[in-house]
Amino acid sequence: MKHVFAFIAAATLAAPAFAGAHGIDEETTQKIMAMLTEMECQMDPADIEVEDDGYDLDDVICKGGNQFDIKLDKDLNEVGRRAE
């Protein structure tokens, strides 16, 4: 569990470095990462993709080791999830 929290902390701190590269502002990246933390999930912020109708989160790993692709609308509401 310590590793999960260490990864989340590192990912959150690294978020500003990834934000500009994918057209996602730092605030939105931090909100997405916080939402994933509440869901007991983690991902690399570099895998957040901007789409016309929201965001695509690739390779999200949740508690228990399950991996998903998650779709969010522009208001950061989950609108789809696909197991990988």
Buried b (16+ CB within 10 A) or exposed e, 40-52: ebbbebbebeeee
Q: Are strands 48-51 and 67-73 parallel, antiparallel or unpaired?
A: unpaired
Mean pLDDT of 73-82: 97
Mean pLDDT of 55-82: 97
pLDDT of 11 reads: 56
Instruction: With beta carbons less than 8 A apart as the criterion, state whether 45 and 23 touch.
Output: no
pTM of the model: 0.72
Q: Which helix (H) or strand (E) holds 56?
A: strand 54-62
Distances (CA, A) of 66 to 31, 45, 47: 22, 18, 17
Query: pLDDT band at 20, cuts 50/70/90?
Result: very low
Q: Which domain holds residue 44?
A: 2-83
Say how many domains are in the chain.
1
